Structure 1
Amino acid sequence: MNVSASIPSLNSPNAQGTPMILDTLPDPAIAGQVCPARTRLQIDLMLLAIEALELGGSEAILSFAEELDLQGIIKNRVNLWRMRASNPMRRAHSRRPLDILEAKALVVIACYIARRLTVVIRQLLTIYQQLAQKQIPPEQNLRLANYLERFRTHFKSRMNSRRSGVLALTSDEKLDELAIDLLGKLLFCTGTAGMQRYWISLFDGEVE
């Protein structure tokens, strides 16, 4: 994926050694500064949608971690996998907590990738809306069908089908709805203060 994240003004660490780009996201008022289950789930699903949008999406995540000077938090592929395995719906779910700093890094990367893919995301959503208005199945459009198929494949291979939340998403129709909803969230992240607004939404109902 030909994406680049040249943002030198935000790459320098602050006085505490934390990359300044993470300071653009406020610290939520939650106990222990670790992410609730819902937050971990939503972040992982956003990354899953990115992987479905672009072949090599996981490599792009690691590439952005390096370009945004976040490799001190997201060190390598194994480290990234462990963070995402904190999603309680995963087959390989780990009880390892996801702390706020790690969550910020993942959200920043997801939002920057979304910005680079804004045109693609907007086109897919437009195609979906046009097909829906004409009551034409989404599989009739090759680009949209490819995205939806990849998302379903990723979801089914990585999520635990015995989890109650996954059981509600067993049909292709439900998974397609989720995939489209995630496209909308990715597009939301590209708007004015979208990254900050999305970050805050991840903790709705969770703050003390």
Structure 2
Amino acid sequence: MNCRTNAFVLGFLALLASPLPAAAETYKVVRDFSYLNPGGVWSYGSGDTGRSFTLVPSITDGCGTPGGRTDCFRVGNAIVYINTSGNAFADPGSGTVLVGDNVLMLHPADGVDAIVRFRAPRAGTYTFKGSYAIMDTSPTGIAPKIFVGATDVTKAAFGSKIDVALTGPGAVLAKKKPGGSKAFTFTRTLKAGQPVYFGVNALGNWLFDSTALKLEVRIGDP
């Protein structure tokens, strides 16, 4: 074997021996929805986002809705629920709510936020990407909240220096079309177990505040 061939073989063997970059881990709030609470990295509850969090101990099958097409974690009027039918539909109970098919639905109560908590499974760099959307035909306004621990990162996540409230337009039931929406993305270095909260505040009147949350979390380089 000549020197050039020998060098090539040694280089190839070194390449095989070198560790491959770790594949990014991805978590999705709908795909990974858990009927346990907490379930994996996700927890569902209510409170004051970033300041208090009460875990809902058990899920309610059917969530008390006609036809039982949603399951929910619920305390009073603060609800985190998911569509189990596989299709978006107009909620016959309310007559004004579009229940999305690839979102997590949140509804706040009077003075109480509906909250989803993500807890970092390990130390690393996390990229969060998603959106909030109005799902009622007659919205009274909601305030998205995003906290890393006790730190409010809402405006930074939405890339805004002003109010990030959603006030309209409303959802269109006939077209199964969500109402006004705003997208967010942000990256943070987290410690193992560090929580990130995604809440919906009623912004005053808690009626007609059904909101859709889309959320994907990626661990690895942004």
TM-score range, shorter chain: under 0.3
- Tell which has more relative contact order, 1 or 2 (C-alpha 8 A, sep 6+): 1
From the two aligned structures, give the one with the greater helix fraction. Answer: 1
Structure 2 length-normalised TM: 0.23
From the two aligned structures, give the one with the greater strand fraction. Answer: 2
Structure 1 or 2, whichever has the larger Rg, is: 2
